[in-house]
A = this chain, B = another copy of it.
Amino acid sequence: MADFRPGTPDQEEFLRELLGAGYLIESGVPGVYGRGEAFERVRLGFDAKVTAASEEESPEHMVFPPLLPRRQMEDVGYLQSFPHLACTVFSFDGDEEQAAEQEHRAAAHEDWSDFQEMTDLVLKPAACYPVYPAIAARGPLAPGGVLVDAGGTYVFRHEPSGDPARLQAFHQREIVRIGEPETVVEWRNRWRDRSLELLRSVGLDAVPDVASDPFFGRSGRLLARSQRAQELKFEVLVQIAGPEPTAVASFNYHQDHFSAVYGLEMAADDGGDTTAHTACLGFGLERITLALVRTHGLDQEGWPAAVLAELGI
């Protein structure tokens, strides 16, 4: 199992405050918490702000469950880039005798993994993944492509940590753009700027940055360098419980990565390249909630009236 990464003293202290004030509820596993009313009120308030901004562009809505077909994880190369973060789903398919032995071991908190087999499902690592095959299944795209608001759904990263801003399960508020390369890049850059407005409107000191994904291993460092050099990924950072600011939103241009896997094409008739490009953006709703609590304090009644109004609280 992945090593637990302790939080800094500031992070651990902030976690204790969040648990004490009922924002989060201890589960016994780091990075997995229940959420109290105060937390959900803020999370859903910011979620609604993103929805309102997204609706200006009249997206199509699609929502996908937390489970992704394992085949998709295999096809998109997730295990090359992020094997350390991937979560797979196993289950039991034995007889009554094996079930009894499994239960016997489990009740004694001994190892019962021998009785579990890999299923054809994994946990969804990013909210945009199921969108690409769903759109590809429709055939070539009309000029201008498509815009999909994929809502705010749970995604999963296996990285147990004492930092409350590093959860194993969190809501990614996701929007996906598929179309001509220049359409997609323009959309991605516009939303990076739009997100700064949204985050600053609720009093967060948000700054943009060129970023890279947490690729695995030595070869991952090369990938990260290339990703930065091409400015494929932007993030917006906010100070939560430090020491470094934390990414609360990301804006990703995938070029033809997903199109090559799923055959996403524009219905162009001029004989040129018809490969569609894709981009996505994700707001980390839990991190934004934590940033708001860290910025404005545990007591929501004391938050600036303008911030409460923006969040509909």
Which residues of A are at the interface with B, using a C-beta cutoff of 8 A? 1-2, 25-29, 32-37, 40, 60-69, 71-74, 77, 79-80, 83-84, 86-94, 96, 99, 102-103, 106-107, 109, 111-113, 116-121, 123, 130, 133-134, 137, 154, 156, 158, 168-169, 216-219
Closest B residue to A26 by CB, please name it.
Answer: B137
Across-interface contacts of A219 in B (CB, < 8 A): 96
Cross-chain contact B28 with A69 (CB below 8 angstroms): yes
Across-interface contacts of A86 in B (CB, < 8 A): 91-92
- Knowing that A1-B118, A28-B133, A88-B116 are A-B contacts, what are 15 other residue pairs whose CB atoms are under 8 Å apart, sorted by A's residue number? A1-B93, A2-B93, A36-B61, A66-B66, A67-B168, A71-B109, A74-B106, A74-B109, A86-B92, A89-B90, A90-B113, A96-B216, A96-B218, A113-B118, A154-B154
Cross-chain contact B118 with A67 (CB below 8 angstroms): no
Cα–Cα, bound, A37→B102 (Å): 42
The 6 closest A-B pairs by CB, nearest first: A113-B118, A91-B158, A65-B169, A83-B99, A96-B217, A74-B106
Cross-chain contact B117 with A99 (CB below 8 angstroms): no
Cross-chain contact B113 with A1 (CB below 8 angstroms): no
CB distance from A29 to the nearest CB of B (A): 5
CB distance from A216 to the nearest CB of B (A): 6
| Total identical chains | 2
CB distance from A76 to the nearest CB of B (A): 10
Closest B residue to A286 by CB, please name it.
Answer: B65
Cross-chain contact B107 with A74 (CB below 8 angstroms): yes
Cross-chain contact B119 with A158 (CB below 8 angstroms): yes
Cross-chain contact A117 with B113 (CB below 8 angstroms): yes
Closest B residue to A131 by CB, please name it.
Answer: B34
User: Considering residues A68, A74, A216, which has the most beta carbons from chain B within 10 angstroms of its beta carbon?
Assistant: A74
Across-interface contacts of A73 in B (CB, < 8 A): 106
Cross-chain contact A102 with B83 (CB below 8 angstroms): yes
Across-interface contacts of A158 in B (CB, < 8 A): 89, 91-92, 119
User: Considering residues A116, A134, A156, which has the most beta carbons from chain B within 10 angstroms of its beta carbon?
Assistant: A116
Q: Given contacts A62-B25, A116-B90, A137-B26, is CB(A103)–CB(B121) below 8 Å? A: no
Give me 5 A-to-B residue pairs in the complex whose CB atoms sit less than 8 angstroms apart, sorted by A's number.
A29-B69, A32-B65, A32-B69, A83-B94, A88-B113
Cross-chain contact B61 with A37 (CB below 8 angstroms): yes
CB distance from A12 to the nearest CB of B (A): 19
Cα–Cα, bound, A34→B61 (Å): 10
Cα–Cα, bound, A60→B25 (Å): 13
Across-interface contacts of A99 in B (CB, < 8 A): 79, 83-84, 216-217
User: Considering residues A72, A130, A218, which has the most beta carbons from chain B within 10 angstroms of its beta carbon?
Assistant: A130
Cα–Cα, bound, A27→B36 (Å): 33
Closest B residue to A39 by CB, please name it.
Answer: B63
Cross-chain contact A65 with B121 (CB below 8 angstroms): no
Cα–Cα, bound, A61→B35 (Å): 9
Across-interface contacts of A34 in B (CB, < 8 A): 62-65, 130, 134
Cα–Cα, bound, A72→B28 (Å): 9
